[in-house]
Chain A
């Protein structure tokens, strides 16, 4: 099947040119807003934020762990295809990997802009601290990005070779370079790629679960000074909510890219499978959060109880009830209950987007409330809402992610040319 290249049609990018212009215009506005806000951030320093010494971590940290979670979740969905060989999932393998790479890049942008000394971003690779979760995390992120790129390469290489075969000039050079010159499209080379794809995935799974996202949870959980974070269940919830948001993202990306780029119809069986996964993750996420809350409240530790009071009844309680409970659990759960809806692309895009947005509030509700209660009686309470600069830079960095994703989706064979399962 690999020799009959004429059978493969490769025409990535938007089906509708007007949509392409409109989309790039939107992304362009986001990036421009972000560029201006970043200019203000760099010239004005950290004083342009609403952060204080009482609430030293805010929106940027929340978005950073959000995108790490999206990435880890999307990656784990991809392993269902390339490691566990779940039937019918290969179609979304590359979508998931590519989204994971972009999410990770955006996450690192958020880490970078959050540094008091942005010029010293490379210092963690020069000096280390064995007991610091953050020191380990930085290295885990780099290794993880390496795994993701390796996986995407082995997943996509044969199609890059096929495209290079049929094109000429600059385009051929481009695709040949991406295939690292390996232009063999034989069955032997395909199984070689599959073997290495699986191997990289097997290394990547524990890396993503325990180091990248579990580790990010550990980063918070080790803070004994913040009882709200200081629990063994915390990193586990991190991983589950990552799976939840990652699955939702992959579902949205799959539907939108199939419809708008490939001009194909969505496979209702695959959609249903993703939707059922989503149901499972919502239940586990909500249940574990409930357990965590119960343990916290049953401890009658004043710090724990007051923090939960801030979350549920404080000035920002709308983000808990509307976004965290509503958008990431209740609303998508309603949409997912009916089998016909689970097979309807537009409804599932709505459910997926709802989760993807709701989890943002989950991340904010992890980062901020633990800093509202003072660490000692007699010290002032914290208060925090991001400034326009913080929102602007965040929008800009998300815009950069959307731009990179779109450029990739317009040039790379993210949909297998053979159309699905290998």
Chain B
């Protein structure tokens, strides 16, 4: 993007660097105005901010900066300052000398260690780990609203980073009747998270099991890849990870993986789980744990997919699942899915 370029493209405004800088300056909030809204000392705040910029430019060292402001900050913020770890102090990436770090009156230890400690103290970790929530997760899919766009399938693939040949969600297209009386139904199919899951029943090593919140989990560290569960699933919802990648389509396609069932496994590598394991939809357990809806529910253009607690009678999904329009796939199998459909 050269600023001296005269032959501008049609429809693209011809703006130079100076114009852009002016625009940024125009948008920049006035520091004094901003800091006036908070209780803390405005002068101190502005001075610290300006010196921080000097540190960034290399005109001032981190040590000098913190020696200059440590006392003032401690006076101004008191206990809150002393209990908060200083971002300049960190085991891996420390920007001030050890001497300075130890002389500071704010909390010692890196951000990470302090964060871990405070989490333990506050008991933020749920008692039973992943899937131990009080909800019983259920999904209701309104077939009248589904337009068959397959956005759910795409959102699922991108959220769960599933390899070629693995698609936790598919949209089955059914045509009924004969011309001219033809109807077409699109039936999205995630894992049904059955109450009586045949897959769990057949697993020889108990690698797949039902969690308290109703989701059927797969322990990738235990699965031996015998594929008996794929055979047993009446919904075809399970897939084997053959180790393929989208390397031809995207560079470093295997670098990013999804923290399925709350476990971050790092980049995809040959011979490392989940390659050689069986995989399936987890209702985006990792998202549910963060208080988010599954990717397919969030993305659905027609708002056809709903997620919620089936055991809470006031929840939307419980009411929809109770309606006369509601049905489950293959009800006579006795699997009792937690995915309901509305006719």
Contacts and interface: CB of A to CB of B under 8 A. Distances in A.
Contact of B276 (A46, A56, A121, A376): A46
B206 A129 contact: yes
Given A116-B224, A121-B224, A377-B172, A132 B201 contact: yes
Contacts of B320: none
A115 B225 contact: yes
B24 to A, nearest CB: 51
A285 interface: no
A315 B250 CA distance: 37
B271 A131 contact: no
Contacts of A45: 242-243, 270-271, 275-276
A114 interface: yes
Given A47-B242, A134-B228, A54 B204 contact: no
A26 interface: no
B173 A57 contact: no
Interface stretch (A12-20, A223-231, A270-278, A335-343): A223-231
A53 interface: yes
A22 interface: no
Interface string A65-76: 000000000000
Interface in B118-145: none
Interface in A41-72: 45-47, 51-54, 56-57
B240 interface: yes
A129 B203 contact: yes
Nearest to B202: A132
Nearest to A127: B205
Given A117-B277, A129-B204, A379-B236, A53 B228 contact: no
Contacts of A56: 227, 230-231, 240
B233 interface: yes
Interface in B139-159: none
B235 A375 contact: yes
A376 B222 contact: no
Contacts of A116: 223-227, 240-241, 276-278
A131 B202 contact: yes
A114 B275 CA distance: 14
Nearest to A126: B205
Contacts of A131: 201-202
B236 A375 contact: yes
Interface of B is mostly: loop
Given A131-B202, A225-B198, A53 B165 contact: yes
Interface string B157-187: 0000000011000101110000000000001
Main secondary structure of the interface of A (DSSP, over half): loop
B190 to A, nearest CB: 13
B329 interface: yes
Contacts of B32: none
Contact of A57 (B201, B203, B231, B329): B231
Interface size class of A (residues with CB under 8 A): 35 or more
B244 interface: yes
Nearest to B206: A129
Nearest to A220: B231
Given A53-B166, A123-B205, A223-B231, A378 B275 contact: no
Nearest to B227: A56
B275 A376 contact: no
Nearest to B208: A129
Contacts of B276: 45-46, 115-117
A53 B243 contact: no
B277 to A, nearest CB: 6
Contacts of B233: 225, 375
B306 to A, nearest CB: 22
Contacts of A371: 231
B189 A53 contact: no
A237 B277 CA distance: 32
Contact of B234 (A52, A53, A54, A375): A375
B105 interface: no
A128 interface: yes
A225 B234 contact: yes
A302 to B, nearest CB: 14
A131 B203 CA distance: 8
Nearest to B166: A53
A128 B243 CA distance: 26
Interface in A357-394: 371, 374-379
Nearest to B278: A116
Most buried by B among A47, A120, A131: A120
A53 B238 contact: yes
A135 interface: yes
Nearest to A114: B226
A134 B333 contact: no
A239 B242 CA distance: 33
B258 interface: no
B277 A51 contact: no
B212 to A, nearest CB: 19
A376 B228 contact: no
A120 B224 contact: yes
B211 interface: no
A222 interface: yes
Among A45, A135, A219, A371, the most chain B Cβ lie within 10 Å of the Cβ of A45
A224 B187 contact: no
A54 B239 CA distance: 8
A371 B170 CA distance: 19
Contact of A378 (B166, B172, B333): B172
B174 A378 contact: yes
A376 B277 contact: no
A51 B198 CA distance: 22
A224 B333 contact: yes
Interface of B: 165-166, 170, 172-174, 187, 189, 198, 200-207, 222-228, 230-236, 238-244, 270-271, 273, 275-278, 329-330, 333
30 contacts: A45-B270, A51-B240, A51-B242, A52-B165, A52-B240, A53-B166, A56-B240, A57-B227, A116-B225, A116-B226, A117-B273, A120-B225, A124-B224, A127-B207, A127-B222, A129-B202, A129-B204, A132-B201, A132-B202, A134-B228, A219-B228, A223-B232, A224-B232, A225-B232, A375-B233, A375-B236, A376-B235, A376-B330, A378-B174, A379-B236
| A-B complex: 6 closest residue pairs judged by Cβ atoms | A116-B225, A378-B172, A116-B276, A225-B234, A135-B204, A56-B227
Given A123-B205, A132-B203, A378-B173, 20 more contacts: A47-B242, A47-B243, A53-B236, A53-B238, A57-B231, A115-B276, A116-B226, A117-B276, A124-B204, A124-B205, A127-B222, A128-B205, A129-B206, A132-B202, A134-B228, A137-B204, A223-B232, A224-B232, A371-B231, A374-B236
